[in-house]
């Protein structure tokens, strides 16, 4: 009897670990077919949101740098501070970098679990032409899964963004 209970506890523990470690990223994008071009210099601006999201933004930024490392586009990643009142400093950095496209990534909606984690975060990603200030691509990204594997979730999200930009003809 004790052996069966031990096995049951072990199996339920493994099941909880496997289920909580699952991640799911879905990307739904739209593009301006007339504006599709290969991006050569991409400035990525991540909205850091509030202080609670800053760590996730840092992880996402590092993962984006890694995912773009084998791509022909040169990138620069910047995370907005929750203390910024305007984006003047970021515009100056974009101009200095001479970006031909700007990708913004912002959290739009979060589901908070009873322990303060985010089992689901919905992001908005938009690709702009800085010269015309026209949006060329937009995606809604749903990032869900176990809250203890946020690093893995951010990595999969970065990979999904890069893959979708490739699929849509920008990379």
Question: Over the stretch 132-152, which tens digit does the pLDDT of each residue have?
Answer: 989 999 999 999 888 788 889
CATH topology of domain 23-167: Double Stranded RNA Binding Domain (3.30.160)
Q: What is the pLDDT of residue 54?
A: 79
pLDDT digits (tens, 9 = 90+) for 78-131: 998 777 767 777 888 888 999 999 999 999 887 777 766 668 889 999 999 998
| Rounded Cα gap, residues 171 and 165, in angstroms | 6
The stretch 58-79 carries a mean pLDDT of 94
Picking from 19, 80, 70, 58, the residue whose alpha carbon sits closest to that of residue 151 is: 58
More confident residue, 90 or 13: 90
Q: What is the pLDDT of residue 94?
A: 87
What are the residue boundaries of the structural domains of the chain, listed by start? Answer: 23-167
Task: Give this prediction's pTM.
Answer: 0.81
Residue 87 burial (CB < 10 Å; 0-12/13-18/19+)? middle
Q: What is the pLDDT of residue 16?
A: 42
Three-state secondary structure string covering the chain: CHHHHHHHHHHHHHHHHHHHCCEEEEEEEEECHHHCCCCCEEEEEECCCCHHHHHHHHHHHHHHHHHCCCCCCEEEEEECCCCCCCCHHHHHHHHHHCCCEEEEEEEEEEECCCCCCCCEEEEEEEEEECCCCEEEEEEEEEEEECHHHHHHHHHHHHHHHHHHHHHCCCC
């Amino acid at each position: 009897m004790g052996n069966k209970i031990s096995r049951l506890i072990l199996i339920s523990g493994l099941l909880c670990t496997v289920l909580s470690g699952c991640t799911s990223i879905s990307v739904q994008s739209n593009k301006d077919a007339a504006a599709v071009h290969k991006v050569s210099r991409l400035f990525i601006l991540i909205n850091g949101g509030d202080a609670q999201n800053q760590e996730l933004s840092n992880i996402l930024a590092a993962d984006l740098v890694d995912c773009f490392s084998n791509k022909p586009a040169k990138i620069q990643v910047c995370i907005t501070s929750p203390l910024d009142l305007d984006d003047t400093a970021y515009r100056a950095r974009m101009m200095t970098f001479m970006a031909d496209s700007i990708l913004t990534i912002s959290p739009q909606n979060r589901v908070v679990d009873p322990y303060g984690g985010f089992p689901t975060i919905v992001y908005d990603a938009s690709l702009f032409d800085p010269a015309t200030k026209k949006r060329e691509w937009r995606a809604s990204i749903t990032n869900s899964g176990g809250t203890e594997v946020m690093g893995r979730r951010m990595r999969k999200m970065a990979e999904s963004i890069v893959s979708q930009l490739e699929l849509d003809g920008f990379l």
